[in-house]
Amino acid sequence: MKLHYKILTPLLLLFACAAQAQQIQYHLLNAKVIEFEKTEWDISLSAPFVNPYDQQDISVDLEMVSPSGRPVVLPCYFEKGDSTLSNWKARFAAQETGEYSYHFNLRSKAGESKSNEGHFNVQASAKPGFLHKNNTWTFKFDNGRLFRGIGENVAWESRKFENDKWTYDHLLPTLSKNGANFFRTWMCYWNLPLEWKKVSSTKRYRSTNEYFNPGALKRMDELVQMTDSLGLYFMLTLDWHGHLMEAGGWKNSPYNTINGGPAKTPTEFFSLQKAKEKYKNKLRYVIARWGYSTSIAAFEFFNEVDNAAFNKEDSILIPHQYITQWHDDMSGYLKDVDPYHHMVTTSISHRDIQGLNSLAYLDFNQKHIYKHTEKIPAIYPDYIQTYGKPYVVGEFGYRWEDADPKYAKEADFDFKRGLWYGLFSETPLLPMSWWWELFDDEKMAYFFKGVREISDAMLNAGNGSFIQIRVTAGKAEAYGMKCGNKYFIYLLNNTDQVISTQVVILATINKFSIRSFSPETGVYKPESGGRSSGKNITISTLGLQSKEARILIVNDESK
């Protein structure tokens, strides 16, 4: 034992000296720390590293104890410098009021070091906080307020061959001022190309030799600031199927061995440990730099991962078990490293990946629907019953091929009914239309106002209670919902003729009033002629123009 002790003592002393040589200094930038708002620190280090973006090489964490005694660990991110002196940042949004204690913890190959302890006091905010899974109908903010998402895809800003006006700066304020509260956007080699050294189809971004694309970092910073000021929430899609397609982005992929990455094939992207470690470094950076943003509602790993897993003939290109295990590993890691517990998801186009919908750390499942918008209401029940979690239609549209304006009339009608189908279905996010450029040209954003107005009325009336009820309306499509003491009915004349129909609502009330709402004009008007049998309410004659929609609101006045 004495021999071993004599051999180990110099080694221990060497590591102790190395740890002492590592220096951590920090400065809290905020004069006041406000709940749910960004708190920021500048951190200066003297510590050895080769790749500051590789957590196996070096990592810095902000370790806190919240006012309630809960431990909170936040990853920090590298800004610039070298082993002599490097600058790092911590960005944090407190979810509790009161006093936090904290220190910074540095891990490198030279050992582990801790900074001096600090304290900060968090003041209360009127903001609702971060969004979380609640049930199959709604999401819920930290403060308990319920939320249903209403919006569309804004998957990317204008590509180099498209009209320059389609930027976040134009599209997002348009959504916000028209009542939308949600959108979905991508990271890819032409939009927010975080990992992409070689970009394409873009005038905004430049190719780079940097580990993370500087243009993507700058634009992502701007995006989270913009969405916070607009009151918009979004799903950030971290990757898309084209990345793993030989005819798509794989040849330029940062994970491809020909570009210095760890994987020779798309299958190895999912299966190799080194590829997983690289992806985890990305996730850690995303949380460190932007996780503080309450506007980020959910992280979506892949857009339409099935389109990478299958070819056009539906033959399997990537074994499903690798894709499912990868999502299990990454969603578990993201939950571990994210102190805010953002929601996590992924998406398919139309072919399920075996085992994917059952993963515990995916908060909701989603798929995309094109050319069959009429099928949207029937999608949700089977998936919810089978997997016991919320289901979302992340994309839908009249066609997926392009935004050809010759189909604008049909696309506009599809846009409208898809939103109403979602509002009257069991989902926390209404279906999100594709081809935002076409709908911007068509000036369709106004339509979100009416949908949002009725959605808010549903939430206010039922305080999160939604009960689907039976409605019949002859040739008109009809969907019903009971929220508290109010009944909401969606009627759609999907024929090419004017119709006059009797509407029968399953509602056991005797004293009531009825109003109708026009989604096109935003006008309410009283409806007469309703009578009750004790089991049903019947409206004798209701006229609807071709393709006209109308909302009926029945108020139970017997209580």
**All residues at 6 or more sequence positions from 220 whose CB lies less than 8 Å from its CB, including other chains:** 192, 194, 289, 290
Q: Are residues 483 and 438 in the same domain?
A: no
232 with 374, same domain? yes
Residue 484 lies in a domain: yes
Tokens, residue 344: 């996590």
- What range defines the domain where residue 494 resides? 467-556
Q: What is the CATH number of the domain that holds 523?
A: 2.60.40.1180
Alpha helix (H) ranges present in 66-213?
A: 168-177
CATH, residue 29 = 2.60.40.150
Q: Is 485 helix (H, G, I), strand (E, B) or coil?
A: coil
Q: Of the candidates 94, 123, 152, which is a domain's last residue?
A: 123
* Residue 231 CB-density burial (10 A; 0-12 exposed, 13-18 middle, 19+ buried): exposed
Residue 541 is predicted with a pLDDT of 85
User: Based on the number of CB atoms within 10 Å of its own CB, is 275 exposed (0-12), middle (13-18) or buried (19 or more)?
Assistant: middle
CA angle 450, 455, 458 (to 5 degrees): 130
Rounded Cα gap, residues 237 and 233, in angstroms = 13
Q: Is 167 within the bounds of a domain? A: yes
Q: What is the C-alpha separation between 548 and 501, in angstroms, rounded?
A: 13
d(CA 313, CA 307): 11
pLDDT the model gives residue 22: 84
Q: What is the pLDDT of residue 261?
A: 97
pLDDT at 540: 85
The reply to whether 2 falls in a domain is: no
Q: Which positions ≥6 away from 505 have C-beta within 8 Å?
A: 469, 471, 480, 487, 489, 536, 537, 538, 539, 552, 554
Residue with tokens 């920021």: 40
Same domain, 281 and 344: yes
Q: What is the pLDDT of residue 17?
A: 39
Quick one: which of 542, 559, 372, 161 has its CA closest to 551? 542
Residues 225 and 85 in one domain: no
Is residue 240 a part of any domain in this protein?
yes
Based on the fold, state whether residues 388 and 278 are members of the same structural domain.
yes
- 119 and 225 inside one domain: no
Residue 10 within any structural domain of the chain: no
Domain end, chosen from 123, 143, 164, is at 123
In the chain, how many domains are there?
A: 3
Last residue of a domain, one of 84, 101, 123: 123
Ordered per-residue pLDDT tens for the chain, 559 residues:
333 333 333 333 333 334 446 889 999 999 999 999 999 999 999 999 999 999 999 999 999 999 999 999 999 999 999 999 999 999 999 999 999 999 999 999 999 999 999 999 999 999 999 999 999 999 999 999 999 999 999 999 999 999 999 999 999 999 999 999 999 999 999 999 999 999 999 999 999 999 999 999 999 999 999 999 999 999 999 999 999 998 789 999 999 999 999 999 999 999 999 999 999 999 999 999 999 999 999 999 999 999 999 988 889 999 999 999 999 999 999 999 999 999 999 999 999 999 999 999 999 999 999 999 999 999 999 999 999 999 999 999 999 998 899 999 999 999 999 999 999 999 999 999 999 999 999 999 999 999 999 999 999 999 999 999 999 999 999 999 999 999 999 999 999 999 999 999 999 998 999 999 999 999 999 998 889 988 999 998 899 999 999 999 999 988 6
**Residues 355, 258 within the same domain:** yes
Report if residue 496 sits inside a domain.
Answer: yes
- Residue 4 is predicted with a pLDDT of 35
Q: What does the pLDDT read at residue 248?
A: 83
CATH number for position 366: 3.20.20.80
Residue 12 located in a structural domain: no
Question: Are residues 333 and 265 part of one domain?
Answer: yes
φ, ψ of residue 327 in degrees (nearest 5): -65, -35
What pLDDT shows up at residue 21?
A: 63
Same domain for 387 and 496, yes or no, is no
The amino acid that residue 254 corresponds to is P
Residues 202 and 237 in one domain: yes
Instruction: Identify the DSSP state of 117.
Output: -
Residue 13 lies in a domain: no
348 and 423 together in one domain? yes
Sorted by sequence, the CB contacts under 8 Å of residue 369 that are 6+ apart come out as 350, 375, 376, 379, 393, 395, 396, 431
Which of 35, 32, 143 minimizes the C-alpha distance to 95?
35
Using the Cα atoms of residue 293, residue 298, residue 301 and residue 302 in order, give the sign of their dihedral: negative
Instruction: Looking at the structure, tell me whether residues 143 and 83 fall in a common domain.
Output: no
Tell me the C-alpha to C-alpha distance, in Å, between residue 465 and each of 17, 164, 462, 481, 482.
Answer: 62, 43, 5, 10, 8
